[in-house]
Amino acid sequence: MLCSDQNLHGRDLASVTSPLRLVGEGGRRLVFRRNKELILISKVSAASDESFEQTIGGLFPLFPWKPSRITESLSQELNAFPLQVRAKRYAGTAFPRPSPGETCLSYTGVHDLLTVVCIKPHFPSKGGWIESFSLQRKTDAGQHFCDCLARGAFYKACASKDRLVHWLNTAYICGLNHGSNHLTVYDFASDASALSSSETDKLFGAVACALTGGNNSVCIQIYKLIHMLEALQRVSSSTHLQNVVSAKEYAHFSSNYRTLSHRAIEIAIQLYAGGKLPPYDNLPYVDKLVCILLFKTLSDASLLFYLSKSDEKVQWYLTDLALKSAERVGKWAFASAANDKHREQ
């Protein structure tokens, strides 16, 4: 439900005294904060189908964003924001320039007792096509490519609390030193640029306990997500990517987002329930394309862990789950082919 004009006016008044701060980036979206509100803005307009994210929300807990409308003052701030940001990690970022009345997402439940840990696990691709595309994108943007942590190391570390705590600490330090997005901590009770060692010990210990606790709900769902990613990885190799893009059917299906989204929902439900996929050669073309999109989407998803400082209770969400568009498959295939050619030389 969209905000009422009265509520929007209230946000306008608040914006006069409270500056907008950029606190995170995920895929095609940027996260801003003002006081106790988080605002999610799309970098570019893209095809979308809310039914896909709603379905995933029936399987995994999704971050509770609510639809809102961009006000005149917020539009002005966002248009001026690229001139103000100085953080190296956002160098080359395509900042949005939305108009008043456009839709955004907001969350007003932030309060000073909560700490948020955002993890980007980056599941590895078979044949390295995601890694090739990521390297090309960072190189083109003039960004540092960090190799402190291998893709998929997070999920492997979930088998042991000690290994997971080590991964969390390594990812946190990497983010501070290199601007990587493996792990970001949002401590809403403090504006300090970094946590103390005692704070990280307490924070990462709580997250690690939740993720390695055996039969608790967080651990069970993480392993369901791993099962889905492993099944999709097997039919989404760099070779499969090239085959899908070169097939005559690609031109037809690449622009049929709603059909692909509907099929992605069916496959996601099947895999979540423990189902398996047939071998790649036995898949119909549309499933070959959808599995690649679904794999990239789930691989890029973020895990958000909310911790209450009063009782250390951990609650987790998935976010950044808009289904990737089929037009992007061609770019991934091109980056993969270019990387293969470079290796041969």
CA separation for the pair 204, 23 (Å, rounded) = 20
Q: Do 134 and 277 sit in the same domain of this protein?
A: yes
Query: Is 232 a domain residue?
Result: yes
* Runs of H (alpha helix) within the chain: 5-17, 50-59, 72-80, 129-140, 153-157, 161-178, 197-211, 217-234, 238-246, 250-253, 257-272, 285-300, 327-344
Tell me: do 159 and 87 sit in the same domain: no
Question: Which pLDDT does position 18 carry in this prediction?
Answer: 74
Specify the pairing of strand 29-34 against strand 37-42: antiparallel
In this structure, the answer to whether residues 136 and 89 fall within a common structural domain is no
**Tens place of pLDDT per residue across the chain (345 aa):** 223 223 333 344 344 457 788 877 655 678 888 877 888 888 765 445 567 888 888 899 988 888 899 999 899 888 887 766 655 566 667 778 888 998 888 988 776 556 788 899 989 999 999 988 888 887 877 777 778 898 889 999 999 999 999 999 999 999 888 888 889 887 766 666 678 888 889 889 999 999 987 778 888 999 999 999 999 999 999 999 999 999 999 998 888 888 999 999 999 999 999 999 999 999 999 999 999 999 999 999 999 988 776 666 788 898 888 888 898 898 898 888 876 665 554
97 and 187 fall within a common domain: no
Residue 267 lies in a domain: yes
Burial of 200 (0-12, 13-18, 19+ CB in 10 A): middle
Q: Which of 14, 116, 101, 112 is nearest to 64 (CA)?
A: 116
* Residue where a domain terminates, one of 76, 93, 110: 110
Domain match, 304 and 281 both = yes
Domain shared by 37 and 179, yes or no: no
32 occurs within a structural domain? yes
| C-alpha to C-alpha distance for 115 and 112, rounded to whole angstroms | 8
Identify the domain boundary among 72, 90, 110: 110
Exposed / middle / buried, residue 279 (Cβ in 10 Å: 0-12, 13-18, 19+) = exposed
Distance, in Å, from the CA atom of 343 to the CA atom of 339, rounded to the nearest integer, reads 6
- Does residue 43 belong to any structural domain of this protein? yes
Tell me, yes or no, whether 74 lies in a domain.
yes
Same domain, 43 and 181: no
Q: Are 319 and 63 in contact (CB under 8 A)?
A: yes
Q: Which two tokens stand for residue 224?
A: 């369901």
From residue 308, give the alpha-carbon distance in Å to each of 25, 58, 114, 176.
23, 24, 5, 23
Give the other-Cβ count within 10 Å of 224's Cβ: 16
User: Collapsing DSSP states into helix, strand and coil, what is residue 289?
Assistant: helix
User: Is the domain of 248 the same as that of 319?
Assistant: yes
Whether 317 contacts 304, CB under 8 Å: yes
CA 175, CA 193: separation in Å to the nearest integer? 11
Tally of domains in the chain: 2
Residue 56 lies in a domain: no
pLDDT in tens, 2-11: 232 233 333 4
Residues spanned by the domain of 71 = 5-48+63-110
pLDDT tens for 303-323 read 998 877 666 678 889 888 888
Please say which residue of 73, 91, 110 terminates a domain.
110
Assess whether 309 and 330 both reside in one domain.
Answer: yes
In the prediction, which pLDDT does 37 show?
A: 84
My answer on whether 200 and 101 are in the same domain is no
Instruction: Give one DSSP letter per residue of 106-126, joined into a string.
Output: EE----TTEEEEEE---PPPT
150 burial type by CB count under 10 A (0-12 exposed, 13-18 middle, 19+ buried): exposed
Query: Is 97 found in the same domain as 13?
Result: yes
Do 133 and 232 have their domain in common? yes
